[in-house]
Amino acid sequence: MGKGLRKLLLVSGLIGLAGCSDGDAPALWKEYALAGAYSASISEKADYATIGSYNHGGSLWRTQGHERLFNWNHKQGDFSIIAATAISPEANYAATANQQDLVLWDVRTGKPEWFWASPAEIMQMDLSPNGDFALLGLADHTAVLFDVKNGGVQRTFRHDARVRSVDLSQDGSLALTGSDAYKAKLWSVQTGELLKEMSFRNVVDTVAISPNAQLAFSSGSLDKAVIWDLNSGQEIHVLSDLRSMTQKRVSYLSARFSADNSQLLTGTAAGLVQLWDVNSGKELRNWRIHKRDPYGPVHAGVYAVAFGQGKYYAIGSNGIMNELN
């Protein structure tokens, strides 16, 4: 199973434990996938979004006006199961992946640039500047830096279990990975050296690096979620903790730091989007993403979050894009 399928199981299995705060309603919501999605991503400035739909494979959307620009599938005439998506920092390239194949797309033209077979099942990925490399989290207990334009693995980061979460720094010099071995690991992309490591009490679902590459967010499933210092490796703020009697059990599926590194946006398996102050570790606001059935018991999980255009954005596992003011 790819990241989207694993997330779907996580969303359906952990809703009852993941918190029940009402949260503010979205200011606007738009349907990007009719019956739900396997995966989604939003560009750094929230101008584009990619989604892997149950019904029509992959697609690229412009968030301004919520216009579908291109349909992206790996085989003509078929709807691909897009288990992972990513957009380069400049939003000039995007990538889609099923469990074994990876396609690099030109965002401006919508045309495929390169098509590659992955070394193993792809669980998550991220793109380097200009879409030159993809950091792939794989089921074979590795993360790899893959040359998407020329082919071949340039660097291998070895783990003790499946790698289900990955993030590259904006300059492409650092890689942060999270695995089923309950570890978040920081790596030098240039040398492959393990720089820092943080332990959790469950699988690490989500990792994110701040734009200035000084901070990180990492979270274990129904375990602690922390903001930590990449230079010292020390925890700065604990946002949730399974061992705490006063905090709810939360599973985070997505996270993004603001461009000025002062805020953090997170999305949970229970459909809650939270805005955090990075300096204090305090929650500033929260929202609940749109549900297809307003009277149904199950919330959609939050696959992707982003800051941009004076708003906040979140895409749910139900295939709905939410604008949050």
- Decide if 94 is inside a domain: yes
Give the single-character DSSP code of 24.
B
- The answer to whether the CB of 122 falls within 8 A of the CB of 2 is yes
pLDDT the model gives residue 16: 36
* Cα distance between residue 98 and residue 55, in whole Å: 15
* Cα distance between residue 69 and residue 49, in whole Å: 10
Residues 123-179 have pLDDT tens digits of 999 999 999 999 999 999 999 999 999 999 999 999 999 999 999 999 999 999 999
DSSP string, 245-274: SSS----EEEEEE-TTSSEEEEEETTSEEE
- Decide if 307 is inside a domain: no
pLDDT the model gives residue 247: 56
pLDDT the model gives residue 10: 47
DSSP string, 180-208: TTSEEEEEETTT--EEEEEE-SS-EEEEE
Q: The CATH number of the domain where 77 resides is what? A: 2.130.10.10
- Decide if 286 is inside a domain: no
pLDDT the model gives residue 88: 97
- Decide if 96 is inside a domain: yes
> Does the reported pTM lie above 0.85?
yes
- Decide if 173 is inside a domain: yes
Give the single-character DSSP code of 76.
T
- Decide if 129 is inside a domain: yes
- The answer to whether the CB of 190 falls within 8 A of the CB of 174 is no
* Token pair recorded at residue 246: 């006063």
- Decide if 275 is inside a domain: no
Q: Which residues of the chain have pLDDT under 50?
A: 1-3, 5-6, 8-20, 245
The H-or-E segment that residue 5 falls in is helix 3-14
Helices (H) and strands (E) in the chain, counts: 1, 28
Residue with tokens 């307003």: 294
pLDDT the model gives residue 203: 97
In the chain, the number of structural domains is: 1
Residue with tokens 């792809």: 122
- Decide if 322 is inside a domain: no
pLDDT the model gives residue 8: 47
For 109, other C-beta atoms within 10 Å of its C-beta total 9
pLDDT the model gives residue 244: 52
Range of the structural domain that residue 214 is part of: 3-15+38-251
- Lateral strand order in the sheet of 311-316: 28-31, 320-324, 311-316, 302-308
The H-or-E segment that residue 242 falls in is none
pLDDT the model gives residue 248: 64
- The answer to whether the CB of 142 falls within 8 A of the CB of 180 is no
pLDDT the model gives residue 100: 84
